[in-house]
Amino acid sequence: MPARKASPSASSSAPRATYVALLRGINVGGKNKLPMAELSAMFVGAGCAGVQTYIQSGNVVFEAPAAIADAVPGRIERAIADRFGYRIPVVMRTAGDLAAVVQDNPFLAGGLAGGADPATLHVVFLAGEPDAARLAALDPDRSPPDEMRARGRHLYLRCPEGFARTRITSAYLDATLATTTTVRNWRTVEKLAALASPASRA
């Protein structure tokens, strides 16, 4: 489905940067339904400009001054709770963060020819960076043949038998790492990085 772009907001004349908001658990299996048009309107109402959504799983690219962007997760979570009655966590990244995620995937080191099948790859986005003890508590043998590689606020996953079969779930990661997590497949990560890039936003 093509990305949808909302009308820009003129709520602030401060310098703007590009961000990506990742919502967890919307429009999954018929639960937590949230139309993208309404989600876009919530971001515009929060003071964001150039709002674009990508597919139905809650991916929003937007521009905002830093002060507004810092308040976006709380404002969007409250707006969804007020409008729909359920709590949806929002994890934020900058355009630069997304570019680095694409560049640093350890499973693709050396290029696609020598790396893993991109269709088996996912990225777990963490709201906060876990400490060493929390990372050490991750069980590498929890879900063979799946593999995990931690990089700061991101956890790269390779699931050769498909993500639907993995036991490396958000509930397990939230509890073990003591933070909020949300997962995107590699195709979505690449698309969001492209949408947030300066060339796309020009």
CB atoms near residue 20 (< 10 Å): 24
Whole-number Å distance between alpha carbons of 19 and 195: 10
Q: pLDDT tens, 48-99? A: 999 999 999 899 999 999 999 999 999 999 999 999 999 999 999 999 999 9
**CATH architecture, range 4-88:** 2-Layer Sandwich (3.30)
What percent of the chain has pLDDT above 90?
82
The 10s digit of each residue's pLDDT in 140-169 is 999 999 999 999 999 999 999 999 999 999
**For 99-191, which CATH class?**
alpha beta
pLDDT of 197 strictly over 60: yes
pLDDT band at 202 (very low <50, low <70, confident <90, very high): confident
In the chain, residues under CATH classification 3.30.70.1280 are 4-88
The per-residue pLDDT for 4 is 60
d(CA 4, CA 132): 39
Calpha distance 24→81 (Å, rounded)? 13
Q: What's the CA gap between 113 and 15, in Å, rounded?
A: 41
User: Whose CA is closest to 162, among 185, 188, 139?
Assistant: 185
DSSP tag of 28: B
